[in-house]
Chain A
């Protein structure tokens, strides 16, 4: 078991709280028309996100998917430009052109996100290859879900990175549903076990609501990658509390009614709060931390609301890099 400083563990809780508060606010803003379209929230999956992102160093890379608000927050992105991106403001991390589905903050090592699930996996592998070729010890981590675990590109990537011993971590966020489809109805065997076919370690974190358990598993894979021993597949079992996509109004009727209740009892933020209190922190200090984070989210919304809308002409900006070829 890794020993972590108090400061580090408080930061873990802070980042989990940020993800929760940010996504709860985003959900509300979608329903009230302040954010166009829909958003996919990570509410319920905070431990899995923060346990993974905080096991990475500042210079390490990650790639995400459609449910990727938490990934930059977990890696330490400030909230204002992320909220502005959701609203489509010019002050957003992608100048308002990426939106919720492409919330990439390159300042924290994000290699981008995409709604085409699985498609970001080999991109992380490319970053890992660059580290290897350049002789740097940076690693790359690809986030994807249980749905994407059935896309062929994951297996092309595990094979190539296993052969070349690339410093990459394949992190499957198994929240047990691909939109409405229960993972067990479309998944043959255990996802983590698939690593064996490629001669790489496969690790299953059964309690993905325990931020320390996720952190420990990812830290070990990161260390292994830095030592030049190649990739690891990690499957983290977790649960999303809300519907697939806020604002889509597809409901959650496809899940047994008591299932969510059971997972709510394993709320990662509540569990870690209790852990911190058991280790000498006061409830008052925890309350204060929560209030602090809510104020941060308020400030992020204010920053975004006060940011101007971009002119429609920006739609033609940045299409090419070489200006002489621009249309």
Chain B
């Protein structure tokens, strides 16, 4: 068993390297990903190692990048596109929702679409709108796409490789604020499939549910709650669409209380969908309404206000208090 301690940015880099080495149909495409190695250095060194035919520095044209990836996938390649920042994905929205998502069903399953779109997402980096957004709901609303998001380096290393091996289009949401903290990566074994959710901490009183960067906030909240005498279970979604509801519902049936947390605005969000599903499917186990903790329903604010906008352990614990005192 080989275990290495590394930040998520290196784990994804290692995962991409492994995928490029394993299958020469894997190609990386994106803005500034080759020579520079990407704005966040996720693709550092890969162009040198695999050449400019495998790691393509593209023009600044997201719609063309994703459209080209679709064509490559039709011809048997497995393209991995990088969108430089979350909000830069909008020029490609048409290609993703009108073409990529619908290809397989439109062609009655005859046409696999092994395209991965990597999206560094979320806040805590002191930027502004278009650079800090948690915009997964737009895509989760579109059938035919798979959305996943790792919360730690180990998952990131394996999930990126599984996403590339998937025959379906996968939007891979990378939590920017978790790029640099280190964690153990087991390079020899993967313990969980791409589309499974994971119990990140076991507990008995309340279930906290989230993904990506929010998982570390939930774990932090769980620590504090423990000191206050509350036993908290934390579910890491990993797959955002489809959601693996089994472990979530099992957990809620055990605890009777659930809080869903996300950086995204609340209105018509992924967290709202999960809260509704829990209410429908575990209604008789609930001791309190499911509470959502979200960003606010405003455009992502200027850097000075981001810590107010983004849910922290304090806001999660307020929600825990609400479901406990109901």
- List A residues at the B interface (Cβ < 8 Å): 36-38, 88, 96-102, 114-119, 147-148, 150-153, 178-181, 185-187, 248, 250, 254, 309, 312, 315-316, 319, 327
Contact with A along B120-152 (1 / 0, CB 8 A): 000000111111000000000000000000000
Measured between C-beta atoms, what is the minimum distance from A143 to chain B in Å? 15
Known: A151-B60, A315-B296. A37 touches B127 (CB 8 A): yes
CB pair A101 B128 closer than 8 Å = yes
Give the 4 A-B residue pairs with the shortest CB-CB distance, closest first. A36-B303, A147-B60, A180-B36, A150-B59
Measured between C-beta atoms, what is the minimum distance from B252 to chain A in Å? 29
Known: A181-B31, A312-B305, A316-B298. A99 touches B58 (CB 8 A): no
Interchain residue pairs with CB less than 8 A apart (12): A36-B304, A88-B304, A98-B302, A116-B88, A147-B31, A151-B63, A152-B64, A178-B60, A179-B84, A248-B39, A312-B305, A327-B297
Q: Is the interface of A mostly helix, strand, loop or mixed?
A: loop
**Assembly CA distance A187 to B57 (angstroms):** 12
Known: A181-B31, A319-B298, A327-B297. A186 touches B57 (CB 8 A): yes
Residues of chain B at interface, number, CB under 8 A: 33
Measured between C-beta atoms, what is the minimum distance from A132 to chain B in Å? 27
Residue of A nearest to B89 (CB): A116
Residues facing A in B80-100 (CB within 8 A) are 84, 87-88, 90-91
Question: Which residues of B sit under 8 angstroms from A119, Cβ to Cβ?
Answer: 91
**Assembly CA distance A96 to B303 (angstroms):** 10
Question: Which residues of A sit under 8 angstroms from B87, Cβ to Cβ?
Answer: 115-116
**Assembly CA distance A180 to B301 (angstroms):** 27
CB pair B131 A115 closer than 8 Å = yes
Question: Which residues of B sit under 8 angstroms from A98, Cβ to Cβ?
Answer: 302
Question: Which residues of B sit under 8 angstroms from A178, Cβ to Cβ?
Answer: 31-32, 59-60
Out of B60, B61, B128, name the residue touching A99 (CB < 8 Å).
Answer: B128
**Assembly CA distance A97 to B63 (angstroms):** 29
**Assembly CA distance A187 to B84 (angstroms):** 19
CB pair B302 A116 closer than 8 Å = no
Question: Which residues of B sit under 8 angstroms from A118, Cβ to Cβ?
Answer: 60, 91
Measured between C-beta atoms, what is the minimum distance from B257 to chain A in Å? 27
**Assembly CA distance A115 to B87 (angstroms):** 9
Measured between C-beta atoms, what is the minimum distance from B267 to chain A in Å? 9
Question: Which residues of B sit under 8 angstroms from A116, Cβ to Cβ?
Answer: 87-88, 90-91, 130
Q: Is B309 an interface residue (CB 8 A)?
A: yes
Q: Is B268 an interface residue (CB 8 A)?
A: no
Q: Is B308 an interface residue (CB 8 A)?
A: yes
Question: Which residues of B sit under 8 angstroms from A100, Cβ to Cβ?
Answer: 128
Residue of A nearest to B87 (CB): A116
Out of B64, B302, B309, name the residue touching A97 (CB < 8 Å).
Answer: B302
Known: A88-B303, A185-B57. A115 touches B298 (CB 8 A): no
Residues facing A in B293-314 (CB within 8 A) are 296-298, 301-305, 308-309
**Assembly CA distance A147 to B59 (angstroms):** 7
**Assembly CA distance A43 to B35 (angstroms):** 24
CB pair B303 A99 closer than 8 Å = yes
**Assembly CA distance A180 to B129 (angstroms):** 22
Q: Contacts A101-B130, A116-B87 known; list 10 others, CB within 8 Å.
A: A36-B304, A37-B302, A38-B126, A88-B302, A99-B303, A114-B130, A115-B128, A152-B91, A315-B301, A316-B296
**Assembly CA distance A319 to B300 (angstroms):** 12
Question: Which residues of A sit under 8 angstroms from B130, Cβ to Cβ?
Answer: 101, 114-116
**Assembly CA distance A112 to B302 (angstroms):** 16
**Assembly CA distance A152 to B128 (angstroms):** 24
Known: A99-B303, A151-B91, A315-B309. A180 touches B127 (CB 8 A): no
**Assembly CA distance A138 to B217 (angstroms):** 52
Contact with A along B3-36 (1 / 0, CB 8 A): 0000000000000000000000000000110011
- Among B36, B39, B60, B128, the most chain A Cβ lie within 10 Å of the Cβ of B60
Known: A118-B91, A319-B298, A327-B297. A181 touches B39 (CB 8 A): no
